[in-house]
C-alpha cells in the first residue's frame, strides 16, 4: 500500500492556492457546521458512495479530521478507492484553526 502523504498547514495553504483541490472534512456534521475549511465537503457514511462516484479521482484530495489521526485512515481509504494524489492534514482542523482562525 502506498504511504499516506502528510501535509503541513503551510503546505496545505500553498496547495490550495496553487491547484484545484478536493477538500474532505471527515468530522461529524455538527463540527463541520460550526466551522470548516473553505470549500471543504463533509463526507460521511450517508454521502460516501455518491462522493466516490461523482468526484474526480485525478485531482489532488486533502482530507482532515479533528487532530490529524483519523484522516490518515481516510486518506488510505481514498487511495484504495482510486484517488491518485491524497494528503492527510497534519494536526487536523485543530491545527488549522490555531494557525488561521484565531488571528
- Catalytic positions, please? 65
Q: Is 24 helix (H, G, I), strand (E, B) or coil?
A: strand
Select the more confidently predicted residue: 28 or 3.
28
pLDDT digits (tens, 9 = 90+) for 78-96: 999 999 999 999 999 999 9
Task: Please state the pTM of the whole predicted model.
Answer: 0.92
Domain extent, residue 16, equals: 5-101
Count of structural domains within the chain: 1
Report CA 40 to chain centroid distance, whole Å: 8
- CATH number of the structural domain spanning residue 19: 3.40.250.10
Provide the grid cell at 63.
482530507
Amino acid at each position: 500500500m502506498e504511504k499516506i502523504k502528510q501535509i503541513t498547514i503551510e503546505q496545505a495553504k500553498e496547495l490550495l492556492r496553487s491547484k484545484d483541490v478536493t477538500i474532505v472534512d471527515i468530522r461529524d456534521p455538527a463540527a463541520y457546521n460550526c466551522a470548516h475549511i473553505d470549500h471543504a465537503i463533509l463526507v460521511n457514511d450517508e454521502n460516501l458512495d455518491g462522493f466516490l462516484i461523482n468526484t474526480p479521482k485525478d485531482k489532488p484530495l486533502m482530507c482532515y479530521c479533528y487532530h490529524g489521526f483519523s484522516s490518515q485512515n481516510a486518506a488510505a481509504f481514498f487511495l484504495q478507492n482510486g484517488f491518485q494524489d491524497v494528503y492527510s492534514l497534519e494536526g487536523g482542523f485543530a491545527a488549522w484553526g490555531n494557525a488561521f482562525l484565531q488571528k
